[in-house]
Amino acid sequence: MTLTKYFNNPASLFWDEWFDRTTPDKNTPFSPKANIKENKKNYLLELDLPGVDKKDVSLNVQDGYLTIKGERKNEHHEEEKDGYYRYESSYGSFERSWNMDQVDTDNIEAEFKNGVLKLKLPKKKEVQEKDQVKKIEIK
């Protein structure tokens, strides 16, 4: 038996596909979490990168995908009690990618502050126009 997702909203197909492709690999030691918001003109992407230095992060757009790569280095935060060591912070290299079909990639803005990478991803004009509601006067 094959199960198929039902989409009553075409926009939900876009978001489901976007998140399905960008879900971090559960086997990756460090995989930053992403928050994605949308307004009329932009998608807003925030990536939590605590303990990651700005110089260790790169952003690239290629073949219609935005890829964010980086590394959180092991600082050996350790606590010794009764001969045991505790390492609760994860570290390692990471890579996340998002489809940019609906984004004007020439005007992406990025800011890195307090361990959070914030991206402003402007929607293409045709996507903005599609979302607009036009009122029709009744005569």
> For residue 30, is pLDDT > 70?
yes
Residue type, 109: E
Residue 50 lies in a domain: yes
What is the residue range of 59's domain?
Answer: 14-131
Residue 116 lies in a domain: yes
Residue 64 lies in a domain: yes
Residue 7 lies in a domain: no
CATH code of residue 30: 2.60.40.790
Predicted confidence band of residue 131 (pLDDT cuts 50, 70, 90): low
Residue 136 lies in a domain: no
Q: What is the pLDDT of residue 20?
A: 47
**Residue-averaged pLDDT of the chain:** 79
Q: Count the domains in the chain.
A: 1
Using the CB atoms, write b or e for 44-76: b if 16+ within 10 Å.
ebbbebeebeeeebeeeeeeeebebebbbeeee
* Residue recorded with tokens 């876009």: 14
Give the integer Cα–Cα distance in Å for 94 and 130. 35
> For residue 41, is pLDDT > 80?
yes
Residue 5 lies in a domain: no
Predicted model pTM? 0.68
Residue 41 lies in a domain: yes
Query: Any idea which of 11-15, 35-39, 106-110 has the lowest mean pLDDT?
Result: 11-15
3-state SS class at 22:
helix
pLDDT digits (tens, 9 = 90+) for 79-112: 555 665 666 677 889 999 999 999 999 999 999 9
Residue 8 lies in a domain: no
